[in-house]
């Protein structure tokens, strides 16, 4: 059985009110187990505000778990996250990086685990334990073997496993030479500020080390975003719909637009459905629509399941 190891948070970077990137290092320079890009690890915090399940008819919601004095109990909570850093970064620099959202329920209550993490800005508690085992089969070797084109579609923090994959591919191809496989990454977030890893992904594409095209977009565009030739408009699933000539999923959705530097004809030619596998991670509703699009287009579909 995997052991729980102590670690601490370093390099906390708040992108917006609800998004952050941080790195985890082991105490006493402990090393992490080897892993493949796309895998995940279980993290644990010991000062989380606890909740309990409340069933109301056919619906279930979570409410604060209070002690006898009416104060919300605190305790340990474990949650698994995709690793955003590449395996070579863990091997050479001994850290794991994560990209996460401050989760909220439908009634606005903050998620137990992420509330504790984001509290680092006020209480300075940087302790974060991790299981000494990295798992998961959402990897290129297991989900994309044999395909000439890999289309990655990330919604929100679902970008994390794809960042790991792209960075590892870039590292390996600089060392070993470019593969014949083509890779295209579509990703979206609400605002330009929330496009995590944006410049790094642009730089990897510009390096021409391997056949990689990056297609970012924002769902709440500003005038600045619409003027940016490197940023598109719309949710990731609707941008994919646009590429295949389908209308947006929602009747009131912002009309999707591709980045000016990513012409529609180029992307349509690049995505040969019979030779393409679609990998997606992120919002469940978005992934369900991406699966539908893949079925209409005749593409193999794979998603990250939790």
* pLDDT 10s digits, 178-194: 668 999 999 999 999 99
Q: Is the pLDDT assigned to residue 118 strictly greater than 90?
A: yes
Rounded to whole angstroms, the Cα distance separating 267 from 7 reads: 43
> pLDDT band at 306, cuts 50/70/90?
low
Residue 178 has a pLDDT of 63
Cβ(144)–Cβ(302) under 8 Å? yes
Kindly report, residue by residue over 225-246, the tens digit of the pLDDT. 999 999 999 999 999 999 999 9
Q: 185-207 burial, b for 16+ CB within 10 Å, e for fewer?
A: bbbbbbbbebbbbbeebeebbee
Kindly report, residue by residue over 126-137, the tens digit of the pLDDT. 999 999 999 999
- Contacts by 199-204, CB closer than 8 A, 24 or more apart: 200/163, 200/167, 201/163, 201/166, 202/230, 204/166, 204/167, 204/170
SS3 content of the chain, % helix, strand, coil (to 5): 30, 35, 35
Cβ(41)–Cβ(94) under 8 Å? no
- Helix or strand or coil: residue 289? helix
Q: What residues form DSSP beta bridges with 110?
A: 104
List CB contacts of 191: < 8 A, sequence separation 6 or more. 16, 218, 220, 222, 225
Rounded to whole angstroms, the Cα distance separating 89 from 168 reads: 9
CA atoms within 13 A on the CB side of 107: 6
Supply the mean pLDDT for the chain: 94
Structure tokens at 209: 């080390």
Residue 63 has a pLDDT of 85
| Stretch 73-97: mean pLDDT | 96
Residue 294 has a pLDDT of 98
Element (H, E) at 162: helix 160-176
Cβ(41)–Cβ(80) under 8 Å? yes
Say which residue, 177 or 115, is predicted with more confidence: 115
CA atoms within 13 A on the CB side of 4: 12
Cβ(162)–Cβ(37) under 8 Å? no
| Stretch 47-59: mean pLDDT | 86
Q: Is the pLDDT assigned to residue 302 strictly greater than 80?
A: yes
**Parallel, antiparallel or unpaired: strands 129-135 and 300-303:** unpaired
Q: Is the pLDDT assigned to residue 151 strictly greater than 70?
A: yes
Read off the DSSP letter of residue 119. T
Chain-centre distance for alpha carbon 129: 21
Cβ(44)–Cβ(128) under 8 Å? yes
Tell me the residue ranges of DSSP E strands in 212-294: 212-218, 232-233, 276-281
Q: Which residue bears the tokens 């998961």? A: 136
Rounded to whole angstroms, the Cα distance separating 19 from 120 reads: 13
Residue 305 has a pLDDT of 81
């Amino acid at each position: 059985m995997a052991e729980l190891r102590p670690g601490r948070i370093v390099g906390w970077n708040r992108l917006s009110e609800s998004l952050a990137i941080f790195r985890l290092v082991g105490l006493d320079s402990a090393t992490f187990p080897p892993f493949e890009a796309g895998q995940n690890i279980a993290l644990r915090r010991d000062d989380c505000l606890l909740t309990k399940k409340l069933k109301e008819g056919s619906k279930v919601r979570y409410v604060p778990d209070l002690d006898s004095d009416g104060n919300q109990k605190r305790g340990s909570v474990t949650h698994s996250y995709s690793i955003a850093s590449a395996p070579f970064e863990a091997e050479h620099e001994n850290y794991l990086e994560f990209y996460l959202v401050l989760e909220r329920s439908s009634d606005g209550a903050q998620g137990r685990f992420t509330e504790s993490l984001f509290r680092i800005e006020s209480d300075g508690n940087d302790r974060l334990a991790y299981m000494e085992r990295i798992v998961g089969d959402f990897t290129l070797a297991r989900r994309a073997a044999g395909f000439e084109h890999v289309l990655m579609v990330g919604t929100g923090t679902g970008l994390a496993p794809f960042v790991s994959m792209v960075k590892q591919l870039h590292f390996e191809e600089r060392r070993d030479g470019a593969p014949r496989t083509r890779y295209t990454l579509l990703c979206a977030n609400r605002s330009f500020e929330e496009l995590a890893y944006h410049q790094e992904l642009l730089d990897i594409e510009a390096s021409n080390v391997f056949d990689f095209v990056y297609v970012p977009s924002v769902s709440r565009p500003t005038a600045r975003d619409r003027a940016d030739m490197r940023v598109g408009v719309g949710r990731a699933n609707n941008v994919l719909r646009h590429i295949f000539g389908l209308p947006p999923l929602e009747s009131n959705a912002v009309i999707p637009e591709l980045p000016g530097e990513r012409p529609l004809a180029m992307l349509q030619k690049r995505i040969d459905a019979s030779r393409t596998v679609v990998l997606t991670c992120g919002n469940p509703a978005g992934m369900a629509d991406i699966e539908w699009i893949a079925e209409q287009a005749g593409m193999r579909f794979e998603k990250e399941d939790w």
